[in-house]
């Protein structure tokens, strides 16, 4: 089958389009014919080697964390799906590889594709919507009437998180550029801050939750907009000891992670707020819940651009430029 491959870590070397063997299907996996795959900043970070200590991938590696397609084969222990089902998924770490014609995914990481959206729209959802769900529902336990600040509201995670937060009954503030104000307002944002002309720290006060996705400067400011007892959840780091435990890191990696996050954890404690690092995980049951919200019209996908499969390197470069609003998708079949 055709796939986009990296042979070594590096920022500048493009992915290589080549022929690779079809995935070996495990007993609890489904084989998905890829119709569409979305690109994420995570793909670029893995390609450059940023996560090589925490996620020890073997080369050559096929990137890709989002997929929508049709089940073509099932393992003997699979009970939730049958051949011909339309599905969408975020494959688990170390089993990624959606920049290909076929991908094998554990059935527990797969969900039926929402019936009211296209394959491309479905492929745009898994990673970002699961990130939003795990941050707002699992970690923050966001409640109706609470206030949440979601950074980068026109990005993939921001778009999903704004819609989910409004569905949960929260009041939402976000940052974006002036060109995207109408977009984030249409998703439900109550307070919109133009990050080029305003400092969110001077506008926001006493927030219950912050979903942080920006740089270290924004992290420090975010601690100061929370009220005592509030929660800061970061998807851009630094990682914390709880994350090191979850991935089963070696003692050396655990020590490095503890040191990297010591400062922010100490400052959070001084302000009586909680700091938590989130590296989302695959979860088919949560995708089923998200799918129901999509079919009810409560969450809608937002796609910036679609690229032909053969243009995967161009698409990844566009994601790396930071100019996209919404998701960037590959049309594979």
Instruction: Note the pLDDT tens digit of each residue in 107-147.
Output: 999 999 999 999 999 999 999 999 999 999 999 999 999 99
pLDDT value at position 186?
97
pLDDT value at position 332?
97
Segment 47-80, tens digit of pLDDT: 999 988 888 899 999 999 999 999 999 999 999 9
The domain that contains 131 carries what CATH number? 3.40.50.720
Mean pLDDT of 309-333: 94
pLDDT value at position 296?
97
Alpha-helical (H) ranges within the chain are 41-48, 119-123, 126-133, 156-167, 181-187, 200-203, 216-225, 241-246, 251-270, 284-295, 312-321
CA distance 198 to 123: 34
**Environment class of 304 (CB within 10 Å of its CB; exposed 0-12, middle 13-18, buried 19+):** middle
Looking at the structure, tell me whether residues 176 and 113 fall in a common domain.
no
CA distance 128 to 245: 23
Between the alpha carbon of residue 314 and those of residues 13, 20, 100, 154, the distances in Å are 12, 21, 16, 21
Of the pLDDT bands very low, low, confident and very high (cuts 50, 70, 90), residue 324 is confident
Looking at the structure, tell me whether residues 120 and 135 fall in a common domain.
no
Question: Looking at the predicted structure, is the pLDDT value of residue 273 above 90?
Answer: yes
Burial 156-174 (b: 16+ CB within 10 A, else e): bbbbbbbbbbbbbebbbbb
Question: Is residue 238 classed as helix, strand or coil in its secondary structure?
Answer: coil
pLDDT value at position 247?
86
Question: Looking at the predicted structure, is the pLDDT value of residue 249 above 90?
Answer: no
Of the pLDDT bands very low, low, confident and very high (cuts 50, 70, 90), residue 38 is very high
Question: Is residue 7 classed as helix, strand or coil in its secondary structure?
Answer: coil
Q: What is the mean pLDDT of the chain?
A: 96
283 part of a folded domain: no
The DSSP secondary structure of 96-107, one letter per residue, reads ---SBSEEEEEG
Of the pLDDT bands very low, low, confident and very high (cuts 50, 70, 90), residue 323 is confident
Q: What percent of the chain has pLDDT over 90?
A: 93
Max CA pair span of the chain: 58
Q: Is the dihedral of CA 132, 137, 140, 146 positive or negative?
A: positive
CA distance 326 to 19: 31
pLDDT value at position 322?
84
Number of H helices, E strands in the chain: 11, 16
Of the pLDDT bands very low, low, confident and very high (cuts 50, 70, 90), residue 40 is very high
Looking at the structure, tell me whether residues 139 and 256 fall in a common domain.
yes
Looking at the structure, tell me whether residues 326 and 242 fall in a common domain.
no
Looking at the structure, tell me whether residues 319 and 240 fall in a common domain.
no
Mean pLDDT of 236-261: 91
Looking at the structure, tell me whether residues 89 and 191 fall in a common domain.
no
CB of 40 within 8 A of CB of 25?
A: no
What pTM was computed for the model?
0.96
Looking at the structure, tell me whether residues 211 and 258 fall in a common domain.
yes
- Domain final residue, candidates 277, 292, 314: 277
The domain that contains 17 carries what CATH number? 3.90.180.10
Between the alpha carbon of residue 147 and those of residues 122, 155, 205, 207, 236, the distances in Å are 29, 20, 10, 5, 21
Q: What percent of the chain has pLDDT over 70?
A: 100
Mean pLDDT of 222-246: 95
288 part of a folded domain: no
Tally of structural domains, the chain: 2
Q: At a CB cut-off of 8 Å and minimum separation 6, what does 209 contact? A: 136, 140, 142, 146, 147, 148, 149, 170, 226, 230, 231, 232, 233
The DSSP secondary structure of 244-269, one letter per residue, reads HHHTT--HHHHHHHHHHHHHHHHHHH
pLDDT value at position 56?
86
Looking at the structure, tell me whether residues 206 and 321 fall in a common domain.
no
Name the residue range of residue 179's domain.
127-277
Looking at the structure, tell me whether residues 107 and 191 fall in a common domain.
no
Looking at the structure, tell me whether residues 190 and 324 fall in a common domain.
no
Between the alpha carbon of residue 169 and those of residues 131, 143, 166, 198, 298, the distances in Å are 18, 7, 5, 26, 12
Question: Looking at the predicted structure, is the pLDDT value of residue 10 above 90?
Answer: yes
Looking at the structure, tell me whether residues 116 and 144 fall in a common domain.
no
Mean pLDDT of 251-260: 92
Of the pLDDT bands very low, low, confident and very high (cuts 50, 70, 90), residue 241 is very high
Looking at the structure, tell me whether residues 162 and 215 fall in a common domain.
yes
């Amino acid at each position: 089958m055709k796939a986009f491959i990296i042979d070594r870590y590096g920022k500048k070397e493009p992915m290589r389009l080549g022929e690779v063997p079809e995935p070996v299907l495990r007993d609890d996996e489904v084989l998905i014919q890829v119709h569409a795959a979305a690109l994420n900043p995570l793909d670029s970070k893995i390609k450059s080697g940023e996560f090589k200590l925490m996620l020890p991938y073997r080369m050559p590696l096929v990137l890709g964390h989002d997929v929508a397609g049709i089940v073509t084969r099932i393992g003997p222990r699979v009970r939730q799906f049958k051949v011909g089902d339309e599905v969408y998924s975020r494959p688990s770490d170390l089993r990624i590889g959606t920049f290909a014609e076929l991908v094998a995914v554990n059935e527990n990481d797969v969900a039926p594709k929402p019936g009211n959206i296209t394959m491309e729209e479905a492929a745009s959802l898994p990673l970002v919507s699961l990130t939003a769900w795990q941050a707002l529902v699992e970690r923050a336990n966001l409640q109706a009437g609470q206030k949440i600040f979601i950074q980068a509201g026109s990005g993939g995670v921001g778009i999903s998180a704004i819609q989910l937060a409004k569905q949960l009954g929260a009041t939402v503030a976000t940052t974006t550029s002036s060109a995207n104000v109408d977009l984030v307002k249409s998703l439900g944002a109550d307070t919109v801050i133009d990050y080029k002309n305003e400092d969110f720290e001077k506008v926001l006060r006493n927030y219950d939750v912050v979903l942080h996705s920006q740089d270290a400067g924004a992290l420090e400011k975010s601690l100061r907009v929370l009220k005592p007892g509030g929660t800061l959840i970061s998807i851009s780091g630094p990682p914390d000891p709880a994350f090191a435990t979850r991935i089963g890191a070696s003692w050396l990696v655990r020590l490095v992670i503890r040191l990297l996050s010591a400062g922010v954890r100490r400052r959070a404690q001084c302000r009586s707020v909680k700091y938590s690092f989130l590296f989302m995980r695959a979860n088919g049951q949560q995708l089923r819940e998200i799918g129901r919200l999509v079919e009810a019209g409560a969450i809608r996908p937002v796609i910036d651009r679609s690229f032909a499969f053969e243009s995967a390197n161009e698409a990844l470069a566009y994601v790396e430029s930071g100019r996209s609003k919404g998701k960037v998708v590959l049309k594979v079949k």
